[in-house]
């Protein structure tokens, strides 16, 4: 199981693992299960029946696993629907014993809400935390090379003001505490978009500062929203434990 905040590379890691393993692989999202309703059980059975036919082995990657593998199936007062209980039970039935045909890799942002029987089936857990300042600094260099310093896919070359040097990027990496790898990528992509929008084809310190401040303001708003959601998740979890 891969767990950690959104945007920390869980899906990218799973895709890379699948490709480099030489095994067959399939990728699904937990959020796709709920809309299936009563058909979810049949689809889950078909998925595992297909996985068992792989001749060289298969990796089944389930992103956002908490969308349908969360706690609540044993509580009659929980908000979990009968369809959700049934598909969770079906998943557990297919993963209750060792299997040399397939390996299931789960990814979740909220490991704590997963059903205990699901956690019991997990042999290895790997945390994908938010990057530290040095990692964010390395990401900035990587994304600056990819989106700014090198010619873009459209063939346009962006001139970088000399003031956007190593010291400046070091300061940016410090100010972006709490940013995920995805957010660092989007920050540099926003630099690129702002340059093209200005028509000057030059990334100035003033423009970079404006984009950074805008991103930081939006990040603070997102954190407030995330904290409210986390509080609701913890409240629901505590309610289930009491039951």
The pLDDT tens digits of the residues spanning 45-77 come to 999 999 999 888 899 999 999 999 998 776 654
Which pLDDT band holds residue 108 (cuts at 50, 70, 90)? very high
Which fold is adopted by the domain 2-127?
Rossmann fold (3.40.50)
* pTM given for the model: 0.78
pLDDT digits (tens, 9 = 90+) for 158-201: 899 999 999 999 999 999 999 999 999 999 999 999 998 888 88
The percent of residues above 70 in pLDDT, for the chain, comes to 86
| CATH topology identical between 2-127 and 133-223 | no
Tokens of 24: 């067959």
The predicted pLDDT at position 75 comes to 62
Tell me what the pLDDT averaged over the chain comes to.
86
CA 195 to CA 201: how far, in whole Å? 5
Reading phi first (left if > 0) and then psi (alpha if -120 to 50, else beta), residue 4 is in: left
Which pLDDT band holds residue 129 (cuts at 50, 70, 90)? very high
b/e per residue, 33-59, with b = 16+ CB within 10 A? beeeeeebbeebeebbeebeebeebbb
Q: Count other C-beta atoms under 10 Å from residue 79's C-beta.
A: 8
The predicted pLDDT at position 103 comes to 92
- Per-residue DSSP letters for 83-109? HHHHHHHHHHHHTSS--SSEEEEEEES
CATH 1.10.579.10 correct for 133-223: no
The percent of residues above 90 in pLDDT, for the chain, comes to 65
Q: Domain residues of the chain, as ranges?
A: 2-127, 133-223
């Amino acid at each position: 199981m891969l767990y950690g905040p959104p945007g920390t590379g869980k899906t990218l890691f799973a895709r890379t693992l699948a490709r480099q393993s030489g095994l067959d692989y399939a990728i699904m999202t937990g959020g796709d299960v709920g809309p299936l309703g009563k058909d979810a059980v049949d689809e889950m059975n078909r998925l595992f029946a297909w996985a068992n036919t792989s001749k060289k082995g298969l990796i089944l990657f389930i992103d956002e696993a908490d969308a349908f593998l969360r706690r609540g199936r044993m509580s009659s007062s929980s908000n979990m629907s009968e369809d959700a209980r049934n598909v969770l039970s079906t998943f557990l039935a297919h993963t209750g014993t060792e299997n040399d045909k397939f390996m299931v890799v789960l990814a979740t942002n909220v490991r704590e809400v997963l059903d205990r029987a699901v956690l019991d089936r997990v042999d290895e857990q790997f945390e994908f935390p938010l990057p530290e300042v040095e990692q964010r600094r390395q990401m900035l260099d990587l994304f600056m090379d990819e989106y700014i310093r090198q010619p873009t896919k459209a063939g346009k070359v962006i001139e970088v003001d000399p003031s956007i040097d190593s010291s400046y990027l070091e300061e940016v990496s410090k100010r972006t505490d709490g940013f995920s790898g995805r957010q660092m990528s989007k920050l540099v992509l926003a630099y690129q978009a702002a340059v093209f929008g200005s028509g000057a084809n030059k990334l100035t310190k003033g423009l970079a500062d404006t984009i950074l401040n805008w991103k930081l303001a939006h990040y603070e708003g997102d954190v407030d929203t995330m904290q409210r959601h986390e509080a609701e998740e913890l409240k629901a979890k505590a309610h289930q434990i009491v039951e």
